[in-house]
Amino acid sequence: MNAHLDQNWSFFLEKVQQGSVKYLSRCISFVENGISGYENLLTLIKYNDHSKIIGITGPPGAGKSVLTDALIGEMVKNNKKIAVLCVDPSSPFNYGALLGDRIRMSSWYNHPSVFIRSLATRGSLGGLNPKIIEITELLKATDFDYIFVETVGVGQSEVEIAGLADITLVVSVPEAGDEVQTMKAGLMEIADIFVVNKSDRPDADEFVKNLRMMLAPAFATHREIPILKTVASEKIGVAELYEKILQVLQEQHHNISLRAWLLTERVYQLILQKRMKNISKRHLQEKISAMLLRNDFNLYRFVSSVEGD
């Protein structure tokens, strides 16, 4: 089967470029499951600076899926083609996506301009799928206008989204209150736009005010980060958010150093994965155990020996 696939990557890519959902889904599965030779498919993809990746992250319960759903509606009204990658927690048994495709986006499943795929984190600590970079590159081959990547919302550890997304939305809610004070600097720093969702709830204005005060020192050395209020379930503020996304993307398009940084992050992660590919924790533990029995273990000497293998 693999030999057959090796001969057909050009055919698969051609089908993907023609907009075949069937072949796109199949190719994503090839990449996600590491089918032998899938790298040959990826090397055929031409550079695409048209498709923009929009990262959506934030704490659980902030309404990320509902906000994504509302933004899709706004974009489809503007004749845009959208892909959505929902990164869900993994099943501990088969590493598949535990939640499956998001029920809240069910109205878009059969829409010709929208493609939705759930991915599992597969144990990745950053809230993303280990093959997320390769999969977004594959989606770019279909020339989607926007590719949404929504993280699992496992807390504040999803800072790796900043190295993947062209623009990152950090979504929070008014009742986060004290949580904002303790929010890790890493997550605060990755935001291109802050979205205060469910802003019809009490204390929303106070929350936004506190958020601005907390970010004020950063504005002295960096650009001011927009803070927008939305009620995604009612589509309130969504059109304004879409306009702001377009504005920030336009500004960033002319920033060569930022674009170079994003590509550098993606390249670095791919090189890291490739070099770690044949390293097994179980094998390392066996070797370390044997050395401990001989009372002959030096941490740095061991690391050097592994790097030299």
Please give the Cα distance from 95 to 97 (Å, whole number).
Answer: 7
Query: Strands 52-57, 227-229: parallel, antiparallel or unpaired by DSSP?
Result: unpaired
Sorted by sequence, the CB contacts under 8 Å of residue 28 that are 6+ apart come out as 117, 135, 138
38 and 56: one domain?
no
224 and 82: one domain?
yes
114 and 208: one domain?
yes
172 and 25: one domain?
no
70 and 54: one domain?
yes
- Other Cβ atoms less than 10 A from the Cβ of 125: the count is 10
122 and 2: one domain?
no
How many structural domains is the chain composed of? Answer: 3
Q: Which two tokens stand for residue 255?
A: 């920033």
Q: Which two tokens stand for residue 307?
A: 């790097």
Q: Confirm if 95 and 123 have CB atoms less than 8 A apart.
A: yes
20 and 67: one domain?
no
148 and 260: one domain?
yes
244 and 302: one domain?
no
From first to last of its 309 residues, the chain has per-residue pLDDT tens of 454 555 589 999 999 999 999 999 999 999 988 888 899 999 999 988 899 999 998 877 888 889 999 999 999 999 999 999 987 654 433 444 444 444 556 678 789 999 999 886 655 544 567 788 899 999 999 989 999 998 765 444 445 676 788 999 989 888 765 555 555 555 566 789 999 999 999 889 988 888 888 777 655 556 688 999 999 999 999 999 999 999 999 988 777 887 788 888 888 888 888 888 788 888 999 999 999 999 988 888 898 888 766
> Domain containing 96 — which CATH number?
3.40.50.300
- Other Cβ atoms less than 10 A from the Cβ of 122: the count is 17
Residue 124 carries which DSSP code?
-
81 and 215: one domain?
yes
32 and 121: one domain?
no
Report pLDDT digits (tens) over 277-301: 788 888 999 999 999 999 988 888 8
Domain interval for residue 74: 47-270
93 and 120: one domain?
yes
Query: Tokens 């598949």, residue?
Result: 96
